[in-house]
Amino acid sequence: MIHKKKLLATAVAGALAVPSAVAVAQTSTVQIGGSITAFYYQHKPNNPGTGQKTDILETSEPELFIRGEEKLGGGLSTWFQCTSSIDGLINGAGPASAAGFCGRNSGIGFRGSWGNVFAGNWDTPQKFIDNAARGWWGGTNALTGGAMVLLANGTASGLTNPALGTGQAAFFRRQANSLNYHSPDWNGFSFQGAFSAGNEQTGIPETNPLSPRMWSIAGQYKSGPLYVGLGYENHSDYNPAACTVGGTVCTIGSTGALGYVGGNDTRRAIAAGYTFGTFNVRGMYADMDYDTLVGQSLDTNGWGLFADWNIQGPHTLRAQYVSLDDIGGNSVLGAGGFAAPFGATATGAKHWGLAYSYAFSKRTMGSVAYTKLDNDTNAAFSKGKLAPTAGATQTSFGVVLQHRF
C-alpha cells in the first residue's frame, strides 16, 4: 500500500510565515512505498571444479521509494522519484551500499496532458517491452529469471555510456544520465523514448572518433485483453569487444591489438499478449547485432513464451519457455555473455520454468518455482551464480515471498 501524505497549508504557513506558500502546499503530495522479494532455493550450477550445489537465501531487487508531485496549474505538474535498494534487509550492508541511494528508477520532470518529460536513472523504453512479456518471471536472477540472459545479453542497472567496462553489451538496461519522454494514452496507444547524455565525452579528446551514446524507443498498444509492443535500442561506441594490451584493460581511445573504434550495437524486440478469461499468454521475439571489430559482427535471435493461469481465487500456475538460436556473424570476439561463433554450431540455449503462486492478499504472495537453463553443446550461459562448463545445465528450485507496501 502506498501511504500518501498531504502537506498541510496551515502548518507550512505557520512555520514559514509565507502566505504565498499556502496554495502551493495544498496541491503537493508525497508518497512512500516499496516492495520486498525474498528467495530461498537450491541451486545446481553443474560446474563441480569451481563451485558446488548449495542452498541460497537472497533478495531480488527489494526497493524503497519516495515520490512527490506538485500541481502547478493548467494541468501541469512537476514530480520527482527516488527509489533505493534495500537488499541489506537479508543480504547485509554490502549490496545495499553498493546499489546506492536513488540507485533504482529515479528522476525529476514535468507532466501534463501532452505526456511526461524527465531526466533520471530509468529503465529504457525497450525494457518496457521485455517487462510486459515476462510478467511475473524475473529478468536475470538465478531462481525465477534467465529469460533476459538469453534474449537481452544480461542486465545493466544504473550505468552510464560505457566505451569499455561492465555492462556495455547488455540491453536489459536502467540507463543513468538519460532524458526521457513518455506519451499519454491515445486510445490504447502510447510511445516512450529516451537518450543518454554524453557526460563521458568530456574525457575523450576531440581527435578521438569515439562518441558513446544510447537511445531507445518503444511503442505499445493496450486495449482490453490485447497487448502489442515494439522496441528498438541503439548503442553507439559501446565497444562490446574485450580490449587488452599486455593483460591491461584498454582505456577509451586505446589502439590495442584487440581494440576497435566506432560501431553500433542494436536490438529489436516485439511482444504480444492476450487474456482468455483466467488465462494470459505472452510471446516475444528479440534479435541483437554487435559491431565487435571493423568489418566483423556478431548477431543473435531468440524467442520466448510466458503464461499465467489464475485457476481459482488466490491460486495461479505460471510457465515460461525461452529459446536462443545459434550465434551468427563473422566475429572473432565475443560480446558480453555471447561467445564468438568461429563457425561453430550448437551455440544457443534453452530456458524454461514452472511456478505455483498463492496470493495471501493484494500485497502479499508466496510461490514455489523451478527453472532450468540448458546450454547447447558449445554454449556456456549462466544463471549468474557460477559460469558453467560448455553444454552443461543449471537448475534452481525454491520458494519466493513477495510483499508490497
Show Cβ contacts of residue 303 under 8 Å, excluding neighbours closer than 6 positions.
151, 283, 284, 285, 286, 322, 323
C-alpha 277/C-alpha 288 separation (Å) is 35
Residue-level pLDDT at 164: 63
CA distance linking residue 385 with residue 292, whole number of Å: 26
Interval 130-154 mean pLDDT:
97
**Environment class of residue 203 by beta-carbon count within 10 Å: exposed (0-12), middle (13-18) or buried (19+)?**
exposed
Cell match 492478499: residue? Answer: 361
How buried is residue 5: exposed, middle or buried, by Cβ count under 10 Å (0-12/13-18/19+)?
exposed
Residue 153 lies in a domain: yes
Residue 26 lies in a domain: no
Which CATH number covers residue 126? 2.40.160.10
The domain tally of the chain equals 1
Q: What is the pLDDT of residues 83-102, one digit of tens each?
A: 999 988 898 865 444 457 89
- Measured in residues, the chain has a length of 405
Cell digits of residue 156: 545493466
Distance of CA 172 to the CA centre of its chain: 4
For the stretch 380-383, contacts whose Cβ atoms lie closer than 8 Å and that sit 24 or more positions apart, written own/partner, are 380/339, 381/149, 381/150, 381/324, 381/337, 381/349, 382/45, 382/149, 382/337, 383/43, 383/45, 383/141, 383/142, 383/145, 383/146, 383/149
Separation of alpha carbons 166 and 394, rounded Å = 23
Name the grid cell of 89: 534487509
Residue 21 lies in a domain: no
Would you state the pLDDT for residue 133? Answer: 98
Taking the CA atoms of residue 55, residue 57, residue 60 and residue 63 in that order, the dihedral angle to the nearest 10 degrees is 180
CA distance 363 to 69: 24
The owner of cell 550492508 is: 93
Which pLDDT tens digit goes with each residue over 184-235? 999 999 999 999 999 988 888 888 778 899 999 999 999 999 999 999 999 9
Return the pLDDT at 45: 92
Q: For 304-355, write each residue's pLDDT tens digit.
A: 999 999 999 999 999 999 999 999 998 887 888 887 776 778 999 999 999 9
How far, in Å, CA of 88 to CA of 61, rounded? 11
The predicted model gives 262-286 an average pLDDT of: 96
Residue 10 has pLDDT above 90, yes or no: no
Q: Answer whether residue 9 is part of any domain.
A: no
58 falls within a domain: yes
Tell me if 112 is assigned to some domain. yes
Does 289 fall in a domain? yes
Structural domain span for residue 394: 35-404
Grid cell locating 401: 515471498
- CA angle (352 as vertex; 346, 355 as ends), nearest 5: 170
- If DSSP codes are grouped into helix, strand and coil, which group holds residue 314? coil
CA nearest to 163, candidates 216, 117, 200: 200
CA distance 257 to 288: 25
3-state SS track over 202-268: HHCCCCCCCCCEEEEEEEEEEECCEEEEEEEEEEECCCCCCCEECCEECCCCCCCCCCCCCCEEEEE
DSSP label of 381: -
Question: Tell me, what amino acid is at 76?
Answer: L
Residue 355: C-alpha distances to residues 55, 73, 276, 320, 368 (Å): 18, 47, 20, 9, 5
Stated pTM of the model: 0.88
Q: Give SS3 for 48.
A: coil
Instruction: Give the model's pLDDT for residue 358.
Output: 98
Amino acid identity of residue 52, one-letter, is Q
pLDDT tens for 48-59 read: 888 899 999 999
The reply to whether 216 falls in a domain is yes
Q: Could you give the CA distance from residue 362 to residue 188 in angstroms, rounded to a whole number?
A: 26
Single-letter amino acid code for the residue at 207 = T
| Three-state secondary structure call for residue 151 | helix
Q: Name beta bridge partners: 367.
A: 357, 400
